[in-house]
């Protein structure tokens, strides 16, 4: 009787997960159908009756898609590198070193995460204007690195706290400096969390739209992908949902490649990093 109940619970759980998977995948499957659909003029729930590859070829000919995705990759990869370096050093300091005001400084970083980004849009735009980085990719790299690093420091600290401090002491007894201990001893042990930081910072920068649409307004070629996609349904290109979905599919490929490249570290970093927060 007890075994039958266990099997029943497992069966219910499997059906629930299967249903959840189907519900999650249906929108993605519909986007794929629209991307290959012919003469799709609206967003109604009807499935296209004819299919073609013409939407993808038109995407490269009629839009600045290659420039958009190139801009987004530059922003995302630069943000990822800066964020990994900044977060690793910052978290090592918060987790391993004792100094006056450490707790208050960490709480301040937590506090600034509470305020919505939209509240600071006017200030951000003013800073960009004063620094002369409007319509400049370097401005978005700087801003995205700051935003992603501040949030990821909170997540990464929990993981670093799980690494025994005795490892640091042993390294320093062997003659290693603080910097050497950080980069040669602790960071190799924190690869799962660094993979989380890399993926999350890449995704944040790659998908960011609100700020980019405000400070990247001059010329189609300067737009990142998220802003370029929006222009395809509200700008000079009119409303072409098939081309839009085709661009969305191709634009998601870099994130899929990055995620599956670091997947084995990503899962471990998320689970272990949540132990101590």
Domain boundary at 52, 74, 89, which? 52
Averaged pLDDT score across all residues of the chain: 82
Asked if the structure places residue 59 within a domain, the reply is no
Do 31 and 109 reside in the same domain of the chain?
no
* pLDDT given at position 132: 83
Same domain, 110 and 183: yes
Question: Are 133 and 6 in a shared domain?
Answer: no
- Write down the residue that tokens 């993979």 correspond to: 195
Q: How many domains does the chain have?
A: 2
66 CB neighbour count, 10 Å cutoff: 12
Which neighbouring-strand residues pair with 51?
37
Residue 57 lies in a domain: no
Residue 185 has a pLDDT of 85
First and final CA of the chain: distance in angstroms?
42
The beta-carbon contacts of 66-70 under 8 Å, at least 24 apart in sequence, are: 67/220, 67/221, 67/222, 67/223, 67/228, 68/223, 68/224, 68/225, 68/227, 68/228, 68/229, 68/251, 69/225, 69/250, 69/251, 69/254
At how many degrees (to 10) do helices 225-234 and 241-261 cross? Answer: 160
pLDDT above 60 (res 213):
yes
In the block, tokens 């620094």 appear at 131
pLDDT at 66 over 80: yes
| Whether 75 and 35 share a structural domain | no
Whether residue 70 is found in the same domain as residue 148: yes
Q: Judge if 78 and 164 occupy the same domain.
A: yes
Are residues 89 and 182 in contact, defined by beta-carbon separation less than 8 angstroms? yes
pLDDT at 2: 63
Q: Which domain holds residue 48?
A: 1-52
Domain's final residue, options 28, 52, 76: 52
The whole-model pTM stands at 0.82
Question: Span 58-62, mean pLDDT?
Answer: 87
The average pLDDT across 193-199 equals 87
Higher pLDDT, 68 or 210: 68
Q: In terms of domains, do 164 and 197 share one?
A: yes
In a domain, 58, yes or no: no
- Is the pLDDT at 76 greater than 90? The verdict is yes
Whether residues 19 and 96 fall in one domain = no
Environment class of 110 (CB within 10 Å of its CB; exposed 0-12, middle 13-18, buried 19+) = middle
- How confident is the model at residue 238, as a pLDDT? 55
Rounded to whole angstroms, the Cα distance separating 178 from 165 reads 12
| Residue 46 shares a structural domain with residue 110 | no
Instruction: Identify whether residues 74 and 4 lie together within a single domain.
Output: no
Residues in Cβ contact with 172 at an 8 Å cutoff, skipping those fewer than 6 apart: 178, 181
């Amino acid at each position: 009787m007890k075994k039958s109940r266990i099997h029943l619970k497992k069966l219910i759980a499997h059906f629930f997960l299967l249903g959840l998977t189907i519900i999650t995948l249906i929108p993605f499957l519909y986007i794929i159908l629209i991307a290959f659909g012919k003469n799709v003029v609206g967003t109604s729930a009807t499935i296209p009756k004819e299919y073609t590859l013409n939407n993808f070829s038109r995407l490269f000919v009629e839009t600045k898609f290659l420039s958009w995705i190139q801009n987004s990759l530059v922003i995302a990869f630069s943000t990822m590198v800066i964020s990994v370096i900044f977060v690793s050093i910052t978290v090592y300091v918060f987790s391993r070193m004792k100094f006056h005001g450490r707790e208050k400084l960490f709480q301040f970083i937590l506090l600034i995460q509470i305020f919505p980004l939209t509240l600071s849009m006017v200030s951000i735009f003013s800073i960009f204007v004063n620094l002369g980085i409007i319509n400049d990719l370097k401005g978005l790299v700087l801003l995205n690195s700051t935003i992603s690093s501040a949030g990821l420091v909170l997540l990464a600290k929990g993981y670093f706290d799980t690494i025994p401090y005795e490892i640091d002491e042993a390294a320093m007894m062997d003659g290693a400096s603080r910097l050497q201990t950080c980069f040669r001893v602790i960071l190799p042990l924190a690869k799962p969390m660094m993979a989380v930081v890399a993926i999350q910072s890449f995704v944040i920068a790659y998908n960011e739209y609100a700020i980019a649409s405000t400070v990247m307004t001059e010329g189609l070629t300067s737009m990142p992908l998220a802003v370029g996609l929006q222009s395809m349904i509200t700008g000079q290109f009119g409303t072409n949902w098939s081309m839009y979905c085709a661009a969305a599919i191709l634009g998601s490929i870099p994130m899929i490649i990055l995620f599956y490249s670091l997947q084995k570290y990503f899962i471990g970093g998320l689970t272990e990093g949540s132990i101590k927060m």
